Amino acid sequence: MEKLIDVGRMDNYYEQIVKKRFSPQMLALLVSSISAIALIIVLSVYLSGIFGWLVPVSILLLGLGIFLIWYLVKNSGVEYEYTFVMGEMRIERIKGKNKRRKVTAFDVKAVDDIGLYYDQETGQRSVDKSKYTLVLRAAENDMADNTYYAIIHDKVRHKPALLLFTPNEMTLNKIKPYLSIDMKKKFLELEKMKKASASANA
């Protein structure tokens, strides 16, 4: 199970790191790529024993293969950094531990809707993604039971967007006071439903 890591906490500042879980498709692609590279290396080394002129080629392929395997593994890990500062949420995508890209920034008070994205019991999504031209993914796993959606006004692209993310309890506690009155009421109902569901499953 993927871990959510808290990196810092202050009254009006908080950071959360979310490690994206491999989807079955991504895991299959990574395994098949590494297997194919390893097979090419073994085959070239074997054939170089028969054909002497292949020795330089096999050495080159060996070095290239090792580099490609290292590159695939290094860049396969994706993390999202949520930073909450005085009512604003900023999210960055971190790939390979060092490549950063801003996903979004938005004012929490301007959130138009928020809730759990996927209902595990009914198998239904809470919101239709096709209605939004901009869908921003920053979740541990889109279909996990702790994935939330938020309808935001994205400050990066200056347009409405559907955001999928995985806030932990501390992030949710930071967000709640800045929500509009209607969103706070919805949040309270959501918390009651979560507690009721947890009690029923206990």
Residue given tokens 């890209």 in the structure block: 101
**pLDDT, tens only, 126-140:** 898 889 999 999 999
- CATH, domain range 4-20+77-201: 2.30.29
pLDDT of res. 9 = 45
Lowest-confidence region among 59-68, 162-171, 175-184: 59-68
User: CB-based contacts of 13: which residues, under 8 Å, 6+ apart?
Assistant: 83, 84, 85, 86
Please state, in angstroms and rounded to a whole number, the distance separating the CA atoms of residues 103 and 1: 24
pLDDT of res. 22 = 64
Task: Identify whether the C-beta of residue 19 lies closer than 8 Å to the C-beta of residue 183.
Answer: no
Please state, in angstroms and rounded to a whole number, the distance separating the CA atoms of residues 173 and 14: 10
Please state, in angstroms and rounded to a whole number, the distance separating the CA atoms of residues 11 and 41: 55
Nearest to 105 by CA among 89, 86, 85, 84: 89
pLDDT of res. 165 = 97
Q: Provide the pLDDT confidence category of residue 38 given band limits of 50, 70 and 90.
A: confident
Q: Say which residue, 44 or 76, is predicted with more confidence.
A: 44
Task: Identify whether the C-beta of residue 153 lies closer than 8 Å to the C-beta of residue 160.
Answer: yes
Report domain extents, the chain: 4-20+77-201, 24-76
Task: Identify whether the C-beta of residue 126 lies closer than 8 Å to the C-beta of residue 79.
Answer: no
Please state, in angstroms and rounded to a whole number, the distance separating the CA atoms of residues 172 and 188: 12
Mean pLDDT of the chain: 82
Please state, in angstroms and rounded to a whole number, the distance separating the CA atoms of residues 34 and 129: 34
